[in-house]
Amino acid sequence: MTDDTKPEVFTSYAQNFEDVVLWRALKHVPVGLYIDIGAQHPVLDSVSKAFYEHGWRGIHVEPVPHYAAMIREDRPGEQVLQVALSEQEGVMELYVIGNSGLSTGVKAFAELHQEKHGFAHEVIQTPVLTMKTAFASLAGRDVHWLKIDVEGFEEQVLRGWDSKTLRPWIIVIEATVPMSTELRYEGADRVLVDSGYEFAYFDGLNRFYVAAEHRELATKLQVPPNVFDEAQLSGLSGTWCVGAVARVRAEMQDAVNQLSTLRDQAIAKVHHAEERALQAEAKAAQAEAKAALVEARVVQLNAQTAQSEARASQADVRMGRAEERAKHLEARVALAEERARLAERTLGRRLITAARDGRLLEGGKRRVKSALRLSATAVNRSPALGKAARSIIGLIPPLKRRLSAVLATESTTVATPGSDTQSPDTLITLRQLAQSQRGQESP
């Protein structure tokens, strides 16, 4: 801890202002060293806490496991010995009274506390060292103060001390029977005086001793704590702050009650919010299900739409082809109509021309003659057909006369040399018809 981080005001945590008296005598030491035997709680009623805040460091001896663990957590960088101290090393029975500083190695005191105050205790086996062994590493070093508060076991602790190698400047020991004003310090006082220490101050609970080589500090210890020490209370010491602590506890209880009410209200609100959240989640699930159905329907409709579009595209293609075919057919119809009109006009002109030139009559004659020729050929080949033809001609006098006239004309034409009006086939046919006619007339 640097000077900048040290508190400007000294705050007292000790139960009887032991730390204020020690600070008055030792505040000129920049960074001191202390030993706290029976340290108990790291803050409540602690003699060392204020010195720790001002940069001092030390060694704590605390056999109760619970408090030893608390000190380790609160005081990083300090050594904690979880043992008991006595004049002989080994193992001893420790009578642990929970949640208090009354744990002791004296069975009679543990039973007295239970009898008078109802404080139950449990017995644990605790390793024991002597002060000489426990603090061997401090031999020859300046230890500025040492405090012993072991509930009636102070003399046994001091009898395991080597006062030649370890000489704290100031030693503070508890001097009364636990939880009483009855003095009990004679054995410890003899050890200290024999070791070269001088009594300096009694505060009603503790006796302060000064090493002979530092007796100049005695004058600083002979005055009780007062306003000129410029110390302030932490509000955590057990005796002097009972009223303040009670008021603070009452205020804290009120605050706890208010917080409990607020917590209950908050829990109710949380439950209500959770119910609403569950309802909202249910509605959201329903909405999601509906959305899924809608999405499925949309997918189906999209597929149907795609199929319809594909069919529409095919229909468009087919319609386009049909329209092309219709246009092609219309063009062909128009062309046919145009050709028919042209043929009608051509045929009409040709008929008019043929009639005017006599070709229409001549053509008819040629076709009639050709028909007669074919008929004569057929008659010549089939007697039955010839007989039938003669019968028919006989029944039609106009045809008979016309045929006789044609035969006469054709005979004359045949007798005229160089005539090429009729073909040989036609002449043969006519002759056959004439012979057939004459044969029919002779009977």
Can you list the alpha helix ranges (DSSP code H) found in 358-382? Answer: 359-381
Q: What angle do CA 221, 80, 164 make, to 5 degrees?
A: 55
Q: What is the pLDDT of residue 369?
A: 67
Per DSSP bridges, beta strands 79-81 and 10-12 are: unpaired
> Phi, psi at residue 57, to the nearest 5°?
-140, 160
pLDDT in tens, 40-97: 999 999 999 999 999 999 999 999 999 999 999 999 989 999 999 999 999 999 888 8
Q: What is the dihedral of CA 311, 313, 315, 317, to 10 degrees?
A: -140
Q: What is the pLDDT of residue 332?
A: 87
Q: Which position has the token pair 């003899």?
A: 190
CA distance linking residue 229 with residue 173, whole number of Å: 22
CA distance linking residue 146 with residue 136, whole number of Å: 15
Q: What is the dihedral of CA 131, 165, 39, 71, to 10 degrees?
A: -100
Per DSSP bridges, beta strands 231-233 and 10-12 are: parallel
Instruction: Dump strand ranges (E) for 38-87.
Output: 57-61, 79-81, 84-85
Q: What angle do CA 192, 194, 198 make, to 5 degrees?
A: 55
Instruction: Dump strand ranges (E) for 47-204.
Output: 57-61, 79-81, 84-85, 90-96, 122-129, 145-148, 170-174, 197-202
Q: How far is CA 365 from CA 3, 34, 371, 372, 416, in A?
A: 157, 166, 10, 10, 21
Q: How far is CA 171 from CA 120, 248, 290, 375, 396, in A?
A: 31, 34, 85, 175, 184
* Cα 209 versus chain centre, distance: 68
Is 149 within 8 Å of 16 (Cβ atoms)?
no
Q: What angle do CA 217, 222, 225 make, to 5 degrees?
A: 110
Please report which helix (H) or strand (E) contains residue 12, including its range.
Answer: strand 10-12
With a cut of 70, list the residues of the chain below it in pLDDT.
1-6, 237-250, 252, 347-348, 351, 354-355, 358-365, 367-369, 371-373, 375-376, 378-380, 386, 399, 402-443
pLDDT in tens, 163-205: 999 999 999 999 999 888 999 999 999 999 999 999 999 999 9
Q: What is the pLDDT of residue 355?
A: 65
Q: What is the token pair recorded at 195?
A: 């070791």
